[in-house]
Amino acid sequence: MPAARPTTFEVRVPASSANLGAGFDCLAVALQLHLTVRAKILSKPGAQTFIHSSGVQGSALLPTAAEQNLILRAMRLAAEREGFELPPVRLDVKNEIPIAAGLGSSAAAIAAGVALGFALGRRKFDLERALRYAVELEGHADNVAAAFLGGLVVTLVQAGGAIVALRKSWPKNLRVIAITPALSLETAASRSVLPIIVPHGDAVHNLQRSALFVAALEERRFDLLRDAMQDRLHQSHRQPLIPGLADILAMPPMPGLAGVALSGSGPTVLALATGHFDEIGKAIATRFKSHGLTSTIRKLSVSPSGLTLTPRR
């Protein structure tokens, strides 16, 4: 007898931090916080798709309607593009990634949904098409590429819409400290303050430093990361939305601290460090506190692997 087809699929997706200073919309790194989604096909006649979410604050309140839930929207988009109809499923979601914090929660949900769409339609997973579908919903490639691939990713959206995503290794002795203030900031609001046109000098400034960032990691020249993470395209425009951010970005050098940047569109701040992790996290949190914001400090490792999908029977 042929083996029974799996009726349950589990996908696990890492969090991510984009930009890393100067690499606006082209650099991102996967982090060891995860979204896990288990999808069980419901075979009973008349069954309806059902979602149960749990995890960090706000997870249980995530939308369950198909038009609003990002996982379901991504599943349905993948099904439409691949030419099949989704079966009804039960989705059990466990989320470790802070919501609307600049740590790739939406990208993880979209990547999970796209991968589950392929699996539920019995389609062979194709990374190129999956990235294209994910970017349709996310709007930019960096976070979703890190979610799919893990490690450090360099991304490019080609003229025809195809996504180029190259994965680079991350030095094991360079850790990440994520400091998240108690402030909700939607990506759309954070992007709305960015200028459409930027000065030539600012563009050159960021080009030089984003290239230097990748080279400095490859050469283990962590002493260059402070300069490589200096940005002129987005962080200064977002400072009015995030009390304390200006003070944090202007922090003087500290032992162990390699560089500081806004994580994605914020409000989380990311510090790269080789040591003195507690002191660095507290120094940044103190600057948020001086502006009336409490913070959560997370000491994280970079996730060397991206999305994993496991069939269950």
Q: In the predicted model, what is the mean pLDDT of residues 97-113?
A: 95
**Predicted confidence (pLDDT) at residue 38 exceeds the cutoff of 50:** yes
Please state, in angstroms and as integers, the Cα–Cα distance from residue 133 to each residue in 28, 73, 124, 160, 201, following that order: 18, 11, 15, 13, 34
Backbone angles phi, psi at 154, to 5 degrees: -115, 125
Q: Give me the pLDDT at residue 65, please.
A: 74
- Closest by alpha carbon to 228, among 272, 193, 185, 290? 272
Q: Which residue in the block uniquely carries the two structure tokens 């003070």?
A: 247
Q: Give me the pLDDT at residue 312, please.
A: 75
Assess contact for 174 and 258: CB atoms under 8 A: yes
Q: In the predicted model, what is the mean pLDDT of residues 215-227?
A: 97
Q: Which residue in the block uniquely carries the two structure tokens 């696990």?
A: 12
The pTM of this model reads 0.94
Assess contact for 242 and 183: CB atoms under 8 A: yes
Q: In the predicted model, what is the mean pLDDT of residues 177-194?
A: 88
CA 226 from centroid of its chain's CA atoms = 22
List, for residues 47-75, the tens digit of each pLDDT value.
889 899 988 887 776 777 767 899 999 99
Q: In the predicted model, what is the mean pLDDT of residues 27-52?
A: 93
The token pair at 295 is 């913070």
Q: Which residues pair with 16 in a beta bridge?
A: 30
Beta-carbon count within 10 A of 7 CB: 16
List, for residues 239-291, the tens digit of each pLDDT value.
999 999 999 999 999 999 999 999 999 999 999 999 999 999 999 999 999 99
List, for residues 259-271, the tens digit of each pLDDT value.
999 999 999 999 9
Distance CA 1, CA 260 (A): 58
**What is 103-168 written as a DSSP string?**
SSHHHHHHHHHHHHHHHHTTPPP-HHHHHHHHHHHHSSSHHHHHHHH-SEEEEEE-TTS-EEEEEE
- Closest by alpha carbon to 258, among 299, 217, 198, 218? 217
Distance CA 289, CA 243 (A): 9
Q: Which residue in the block uniquely carries the two structure tokens 């009973």?
A: 44
The percent of residues above 90 in pLDDT, for the chain, comes to 83
Residues with Cβ < 8 Å from 306, sequence gap 6 or more?
A: 13, 14, 30, 146, 147, 148, 149, 150, 151
Distance CA 178, CA 186 (A): 18
Confidence grade of residue 1 (pLDDT, cut at 50, 70, 90): very low
Domains and CATH numbers, the chain: 8-169+302-312 (3.30.230.10), 175-300 (3.30.70.890)
Q: Give me the pLDDT at residue 66, please.
A: 67
Q: Which residues pair with 13 in a beta bridge?
A: 35
Please state, in angstroms and as integers, the Cα–Cα distance from residue 25 to each residue in 21, 31, 139, 191, following that order: 10, 17, 10, 11
